[in-house]
Structure 1
Amino acid sequence: MSANILTVDDSASIRLTTRVTLTTAGYNVTEAVDGMDGLNKLKDGQFDLVITDLNMPNMDGLTMIRELRKLPAFTGVPVIFLTTESDGELRQQAKAAGATGWLTKPFDPENLVKIARKVLGR
């Protein structure tokens, strides 16, 4: 059974690249355009992994993770930040909010698949 991954990013090109990379690796991908859209899709679906940007309109990635972690069904779902940010303080905030890992843009597609396989165990 293939894992269901939600990608959350306001950049259409990043969503496309992420979707193509992950679907080619055999994963099912659903896209969201910002944290609010992502949170709504999370509430309506079953996801095994969330990959989110940090800086987005309507709701940023940190806020989305904090809200996600309040939902019992998603307390153990891994969340990877995929962002241009590399600040150590932001990384600490992300970890405190419940992020599992951090990947900096631009990203190597093979590395994204490697990380997805690692956190999903498949």
Structure 2
Amino acid sequence: MSDTTPQASGARILVIDDGITMRLYYRTVLEAAGFTVEEATNGVEGYEKAVAQSYDLLIVDINMPKMDGYSLLRAIRSEAAIRSVPAVTVSTEAGPDDATRAFQSGANFYLVKPVAPQALTELARLMAGGRS
């Protein structure tokens, strides 16, 4: 990465993942790139935070307790105030049907774990970097 790489200008990202290690990984990578990161530990908490606050990007795990990522995305896309917030789903599931299901639920992009730090940062900048 060079000094001419644009910074994220404080765009706000909500990471919704039940795994503490994954949330810490996303936070570390994205904050180092200049993003403001908040976390939710399951789909219900993620939905409540997404409705209550303003975010520029949602990073959504698929396999979570209380509400999975697919259900969370469908709920978010049904809310007029937040339906346009970009959402990236991240999953260990790598089959073509998994990605199709994520897109049908409202995902804008589908990533398979593990996600390389540079790929995560570049995608976040693409989807939310221009917002602040």
SS in 1 for 2:59: strand
Instruction: Tell me if 1:104 matches 2:103.
Output: no
Runs of 4+ in structure 1 off by over 3 angstroms are none
Contact kept, 8 Å, 2:93 with 2:112, in 1: the verdict is: yes
Q: Which amino acid aligns with 1:43?
A: V
Written as runs of structure 1 = structure 2, the 5 A alignment for 1:1-122 is 1-122=9-130
Contact kept, 8 Å, 2:18 with 2:65, in 1: the verdict is: yes
Alignment length (residue pairs)? 122
C-alpha separation between the residues in 1 aligned to 2:29 and 2:91?
16
**Residue-by-residue CA offset, 1:33-77 (whole Å, 9 max, x unaligned):** 010110011111001100010000000000000000011121211
- Tell me by how many angstroms 1:16 deviates: 0.1
Query: Which structure carries more helix by proportion?
Result: 1
C-alpha separation between the residues in 2 aligned to 1:34 and 1:115?
22
SS in 1 for 2:58: strand
TM-score, normalization by structure 1: 0.96
SS in 1 for 2:13: strand
- Tell me by how many angstroms 1:99 deviates: 0.3
Higher relative contact order (CA 8 A, sep 6+): 2
Q: Any stretches of 5+ residues in structure 1 without a counterpart?
A: none
Q: Of the two, which has the highest radius of gyration?
A: 2
TM-score, normalization by structure 2: 0.89
Question: What RMSD in Å do the two structures reach over aligned CA positions?
Answer: 1.0
C-alpha separation between the residues in 2 aligned to 1:67 and 1:45?
15
Q: Which amino acid aligns with 1:26?
A: G
Q: Any stretches of 5+ residues in structure 2 without a counterpart?
A: 1-8
Identity of aligned residues (%): 37
C-alpha separation between the residues in 2 aligned to 1:28 and 1:97?
26
SS in 2 for 1:72: coil
